[in-house]
């Protein structure tokens, strides 16, 4: 296993027409969730992801399990549990590709996770533990599970990758900030959006964000800026890379997860910090041109083609 992640996957109900949720009569069932999207992105990019989670013992849970396994995600540490329904959320998508999310994930199956679900042998062979702010926002219990997973990962020498991914529909800013500040000293790679950096640190110049996060002990800091590209620092050099122009912007959900997968997979393949930033930018731009949570996550060769490193024959 190259990278391990943990989190709650859920059924994504994707609208069959654009506009307000109340005006959409039909939805298409898909699988989603920040951590699952990340794992699928890594698998398509050629690294081996493992996923730790619980799913409801229902048809939705079985669908997500089969979907993840079919995408090449290791699901040996995903279990079905009784007494919990697999989480669901509905998407509202507007004509410019922006969207809103409406969650129905109370009583999440991940509340059944315990320390016994985190096996030392599973962590021992991995290189990175990737966590996000979504999973701990669902329930207080999940915060404890993240802290335990980080402790175990540190024990076995894994790098800790973290995307704050702040969802204020799930917890308050005060709760989010308290938890995030508590784990930042253990984070090796921070992958945050510019808006989230401002939420955590207040309004300041981009270079100051990098310096502030380094003060917590974070070795590699990346600030995702969407259409403006990304900026990052490895404590020695600041890299400011331009965005890769997407073919079209039809759905922005999952772009950040794809960026994370692109950056981590690139580092795991031995690429430099700057190369990883460029690669991640390309992945993010490709995701927004396809509708769905993870449908736009590209394969490694497709990213190489976008970056001009590989010529693909279309016909």
Q: Which residues of 184-204 are buried (b: 16+ CB within 10 A; e: fewer)?
A: bebbbbbbbbbebbebbeeee
The answer, as to whether pTM is greater than 0.75, is yes
- Residue of 74, 186, 251, 257 with catalytic role: 257
Give me the helices (H) in the chain, please. 34-44, 59-70, 120-124, 134-138, 140-155, 173-183, 194-201, 206-215, 255-268, 273-287, 300-306
Two tokens at 301? 């060769």
Q: Tell me the C-alpha distance between 295 and 254, whole Å.
A: 9
pLDDT of residue 312: 59
CA torsion 219→202→197→153, rounded to 10°? 50
Spell out the per-residue pLDDT of the chain, length 315, in tens.
999 999 999 999 989 888 888 888 999 999 999 999 999 999 999 999 999 999 999 999 999 999 999 999 999 999 999 999 999 999 888 777 677 889 998 889 999 999 999 999 999 989 999 999 999 999 999 999 999 999 999 999 999 999 999 999 899 999 999 999 999 999 999 999 999 999 999 999 999 999 999 999 999 999 999 889 999 999 999 999 988 877 777 667 778 999 999 999 999 999 999 999 999 999 998 988 787 788 889 999 999 998 888 665 555
**CATH of span 7-302:** 3.40.1190.20
β-strand 230-233 against 238-241: which pairing, if any? antiparallel
pLDDT of residue 155: 96
Q: Are 102 and 89 in contact (CB under 8 A)?
A: yes
186 is catalytic: no
pLDDT of residue 308: 83
Task: For residue 106, give every residue at least 6 positions away whose Cβ sits within 8 Å of its Cβ, in sequence order, or none.
Answer: none
Two tokens at 73? 């995600």
Tell me if residue 121 falls in helix, strand or coil.
helix
Tell me if residue 70 falls in helix, strand or coil.
helix
């Amino acid at each position: 296993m190259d990278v391990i992640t943990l989190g709650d996957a859920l059924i994504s109900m994707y609208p069959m027409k654009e506009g307000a949720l109340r005006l959409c009569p039909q939805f298409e069932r898909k699988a989603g969730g920040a951590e699952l999207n990340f794992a699928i992105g890594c698998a398509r990019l050629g690294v081996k992801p493992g996923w730790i989670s619980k799913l409801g013992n229902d048809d939705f849970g079985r669908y997500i399990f089969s979907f993840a396994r079919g995408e090449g995600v290791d699901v040996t540490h995903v279990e079905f549990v009784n007494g919990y329904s697999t989480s669901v959320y509905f998407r509202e998508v507007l004509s410019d590709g922006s969207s809103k999310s409406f969650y129905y994930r109370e009583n999440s199956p991940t509340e059944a996770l315990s320390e016994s679900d985190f096996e030392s042998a599973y962590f021992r062979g991995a290189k990175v533990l990737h966590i996000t702010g979504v999973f701990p926002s669902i329930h207080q219990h999940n915060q404890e599970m993240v802290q335990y997973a980080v402790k175990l990962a540190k024990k076995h020498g894994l790098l800790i990758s973290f995307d704050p991914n702040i969802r204020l529909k799930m917890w308050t800013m005060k709760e989010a900030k308290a938890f995030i500040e508590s784990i930042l000293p253990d984070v090796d790679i921070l992958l945050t959006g510019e808006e989230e950096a401002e939420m955590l640190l207040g309004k300041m110049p981009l270079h100051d964000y990098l310096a502030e996060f380094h003060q917590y002990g974070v070795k590699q800091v990346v600030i995702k800026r969407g259409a403006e590209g990304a900026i990052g620092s490895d404590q020695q050099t600041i890299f400011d890379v331009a965005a890769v122009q997407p073919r079209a912007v039809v759905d922005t959900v999952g772009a950040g997860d794809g960026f994370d997968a692109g950056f981590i997979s690139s580092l795991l393949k031995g690429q430099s910090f700057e190369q990883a930033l460029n690669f991640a930018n390309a992945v993010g731009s490709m995701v927004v041109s396809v509708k769905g949570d993870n449908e736009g996550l590209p394969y490694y060769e497709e990213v190489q083609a976008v970056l001009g490193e590989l010529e693909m024959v279309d016909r």
